[in-house]
Amino acid sequence: MNSKAEGRLARQGARGIARGLVLAAAALVLVCAIVLVVVWHVRRAPPDSAIAGLIARWQAPSQALGANAFKHLWQIEWDIPESERAAVLAEDRRRALAHAEALLRAAVESAPPPVLTRSADARYPRWPLEDLPQLDCGGREAECLDGFAAIDAEAWRRVDSAPLLSARLAAVHEFGHLRVDDALHFATYLAVAQERTGASRVWLAMAARAFRAGSTQQGLGMACRELATARRFAEGSTHLITRLIESSRILAAAHLAADVLAELPAEAPLPAECEVLTAPLQAPSVSLCAAVGGEYRWLRHSLESAFNGGVSDLWPAASGEPSRLLFDGELSLQWRARAMSWACDQDVLAQMLRGDPAVIRRVREWPADPPVLQCMANPMGCTLDRVSRPDLSVYVERILEEAAALRMLAVLVELRPKLADGLSIEEALAQRKPPETVIEPRLGLQDQALIWQGPPPKRALGLWPVPASRLSSEPAAGESPP
């Protein structure tokens, strides 16, 4: 082959390669254009109307009944004159919000975290709840009242020397709900969590002391007041952490009430406060809709904080700033709202109210994966959603446990008239007709205590003493109040 032919073939090959490169570039441009059109269309598309309605509902929680106990609990440990309480609270709020910003700066600079101080410190007499008598029924459900013996006399002397504190503890039960506004919740996260738990435990200890001192109606009435308060606060919760705290308070008060009923004659009348023992469970008692809405607002707050810190328009900056090209915050929030929409679903709520254990799996398997096209429009958000999506089914399981405990308490009260008529516990159980609207495990008897035989739930399957079954037992030495 001569040189001319070889040159012609080389030129043809070069032209072919050039045409191929042009076609490849054109195809790449076309693909990029299609992707950009898809991204533009997906990001511009309005959210599903149901999800949009849910987001609006979560952004503006409904009003709760009664006054909010937050301010009262925030200052419950200090003897602050009424005229000065508002100013102290305002200063504490300013400090808490500033403390949250300081925490962020410390994290960025790898510095030690700052300490949040209260403006009431060193200005007013303080009675730390942790130094006072507390009755914790969380880990000893079968012998809650027996924990009274472990409280030392010095703790009782401290609470008896603080009459203003005792009045504040009683006043907690006059409030209609307990809510922490989002700004403080995001700043301190566990705002008043310790105060709420501590106040409840001190109150239950005082209830046990009154009962063991012979004031049986007063002691049982105090336990019932705590149970009613915890149920109200639980229904009004707008964050999961506060809802979980109230659940623990419900279980503690329920177990103390059960222990008191075991040492009370079956024919003895119950104080008026104890109507709560048989109050039927309604949908608000088991709903997590408002509390899960708090988690949505927390995510929105976190994303807005990240974007306020700096945003790269095209590509992630070296500082780690999010990219508008690869991440769409609103789309990510819509995905998370869809993934958590089970909390406001009426069928899920009905299952929880029935005590149906299948609801736990249903929530765990709730559709949550973003659509493929939306992932193309929000790749960083898609990855973040998959690795950070929480499993909230554990909260559903906890609510089922709480509901089972309340139903067990109602069963104990239901059995008292039969036991007062002279029936044995076996005969009383044989005559009982379980409710048709509730999936209730079979009741069993073990060592003069009732127990659910079968799921659900797990932790609420603890022993519940039969009413009047401990009348013959005498309080041990040291159980009498100091």
User: Cα–chain-centroid distance for residue 257?
Assistant: 23
> Is the separation of the CB atoms in 268 and 416 below 8 Å?
no
The tokens for 374 are: 């939306």
Label the pairing between strands 442-445 and 464-465. unpaired
Rounded to whole angstroms, the Cα distance separating 213 from 337 reads 52
Rounded to whole angstroms, the Cα distance separating 141 from 151 reads 17
Angle at 219 between CA 217 and CA 224, to 5 degrees: 90
The residue written with tokens 């073939």 in the block is: 9
Judged by DSSP in three states, 68 sits in strand
Please state the pTM of the whole predicted model: 0.85
DSSP-derived secondary structure letter, 78: B
Q: Is the peptide bond before 457 cis (omega within 30 degrees of 0)?
A: yes
Tell which residue, 191, 199, 196, has the closest CA to residue 92: 191
pLDDT at site 311 = 47
DSSP-derived secondary structure letter, 130: G
- The per-residue b/e assignment along 231-255, b for 16 or more CB within 10 angstroms, e otherwise, is bbbbbbbbbbbbbbbbbbbbbbbbb
> Is the separation of the CB atoms in 286 and 233 below 8 Å?
no
Tell which residue, 422, 389, 479, 477, has the closest CA to residue 151: 479
Tell which residue, 248, 293, 281, 246, has the closest CA to residue 392: 293
Tell which residue, 149, 141, 166, has the closest CA to residue 256: 141
**What residues have CB less than 8 Å from 160, skipping those under 6 apart?**
none
pLDDT tens digit at each of 482 positions of the chain: 566 666 666 566 666 666 766 666 666 666 655 665 565 555 566 667 888 999 999 998 888 889 999 999 999 999 999 999 999 999 999 998 888 888 777 776 778 888 888 899 989 999 999 999 999 886 544 568 888 888 989 999 999 999 999 999 999 999 999 998 888 777 776 778 999 999 999 999 999 999 999 999 999 999 999 999 999 999 999 999 999 999 999 999 999 999 999 999 999 999 999 999 999 999 999 999 999 999 999 888 877 776 665 444 444 444 444 556 677 778 888 888 999 999 999 999 999 999 999 999 999 999 877 777 677 777 777 777 777 788 999 999 999 999 999 999 999 999 999 999 999 999 999 999 888 888 887 888 888 899 887 665 555 567 899 999 998 544 443 344 44
pLDDT at site 5 = 61
Rounded to whole angstroms, the Cα distance separating 292 from 227 reads 23
Neighbour order of strands in the sheet with 449-453: 442-445, 449-453, 464-465
| Dihedral sign computed on CA atoms, order 225, 232, 133, 88 | negative
Rounded to whole angstroms, the Cα distance separating 98 from 406 reads 41
> Is the separation of the CB atoms in 277 and 270 below 8 Å?
yes
Judged by DSSP in three states, 121 sits in coil
Judged by DSSP in three states, 19 sits in helix
| Dihedral sign computed on CA atoms, order 81, 86, 89, 94 | negative
The tokens for 195 are: 């105060």
Rounded to whole angstroms, the Cα distance separating 38 from 329 reads 17
